[in-house]
Amino acid sequence: MFTPLHKCWKYILYVSFGSSLTIFLLLASGIWRTGDRILNNLTSFLTPQPPKLEIDNSAVVLQQIQGIQELTTTVYKMETVVPTYADRTLGENWVIATTHLLYLGRGEVKAGIDLGKLEQEDIVVSEDKIAIALPPSQILDSKIDVNASHIYHYDRGFLNLGPDVAPQLQTLAQKQTLDKIVSTACTEGILQKADAKAKETITQILTATNNKQVEVNIDTTSTQVCN
């Protein structure tokens, strides 16, 4: 027959056993869930992930600019009179007569940037800014306007004794005209003007198509040759 003391101890044992079982079940559940998470993370780590496809923004900007090819930013036009002559001689030093030709020449020089020289490394695109280092400006084209140019004066001298070499003198005059126009354009700073205009033009193009600050610089490490 159980005494009240025995019943009390029995109740304590039941309570202790129930509490221990509950704690054990909670620990087992926690360990199981932790192990399950670790297994899932390990499985995710070992499973090959699909490649992330990203766009190289500098390449996009490069393609956008190079679509322009050559950026002509400055055109210098000039009209000049070029004198040429040819002597008719006897022996080496005796001049019998001289033919003179004056050529009125009109021509133009175009300066700008060859954007084909632009490399991807010259473009840096950040979160809020596009920085570009452009190659220096150069002479892209120079030519005589043959339709607006002509022989202004042709004279073979006394009794037309001078050599009749109009085509040869005209060709020489055209070459000298072109050389003079290019030289004058360079002296008046055509390349420097082209640099400034190129900065302005590229900035306008990229600002209109990108919501970023645009910084354009000219690569001053290259030597500008004006000829």
pLDDT digits (tens, 9 = 90+) for 168-222: 999 999 999 999 999 999 999 999 999 999 999 888 888 887 788 989 998 766 6
In this structure, the answer to whether residues 48 and 103 fall within a common structural domain is: no
**DSSP classification of residue 67:** T
> Length of the chain in residues, anyone?
227
In this structure, the answer to whether residues 10 and 67 fall within a common structural domain is: no
- CB-based contact 98:87 (threshold 8 Å): yes
- Please indicate, yes or no, if residue 225 is contained in any of the structural domains: no
Beta strand 213-218 pairing with 129-134: parallel
Query: pLDDT band for position 17 (50/70/90)?
Result: very low
**Domain boundary residue, one of 9, 26, 53:** 53
In this structure, the answer to whether residues 19 and 69 fall within a common structural domain is: no
- pLDDT tens-digit series, residues 120-173: 888 888 888 889 989 899 999 999 999 999 999 999 998 899 999 999 999 999
In this structure, the answer to whether residues 29 and 9 fall within a common structural domain is: yes
More confident residue, 16 or 155: 155
In this structure, the answer to whether residues 26 and 119 fall within a common structural domain is: no
Determine the residue type at 176. Answer: Q
- Please indicate, yes or no, if residue 78 is contained in any of the structural domains: yes
Residue range of the domain that includes 103: 57-218
In this structure, the answer to whether residues 33 and 65 fall within a common structural domain is: no
d(CA 172, CA 82): 9
In this structure, the answer to whether residues 47 and 61 fall within a common structural domain is: no
**pTM of this prediction?**
0.67
Percent of the chain with pLDDT over 70: 67
Quote the pLDDT of residue 175. Answer: 95
In this structure, the answer to whether residues 16 and 107 fall within a common structural domain is: no
Query: pLDDT band for position 22 (50/70/90)?
Result: low
In this structure, the answer to whether residues 106 and 178 fall within a common structural domain is: yes
In this structure, the answer to whether residues 75 and 185 fall within a common structural domain is: yes
Query: pLDDT band for position 29 (50/70/90)?
Result: low
- Please indicate, yes or no, if residue 227 is contained in any of the structural domains: no
* Domain tally, the chain: 2
d(CA 227, CA 170): 22
Percent of the chain with pLDDT over 90: 41
- Full DSSP string of 139-153: EEEEEE-TTT-EEEE
- Please indicate, yes or no, if residue 97 is contained in any of the structural domains: yes
d(CA 183, CA 181): 5
Quote the pLDDT of residue 77. Answer: 94
Retrieve residue 61's tokens: 């900007």
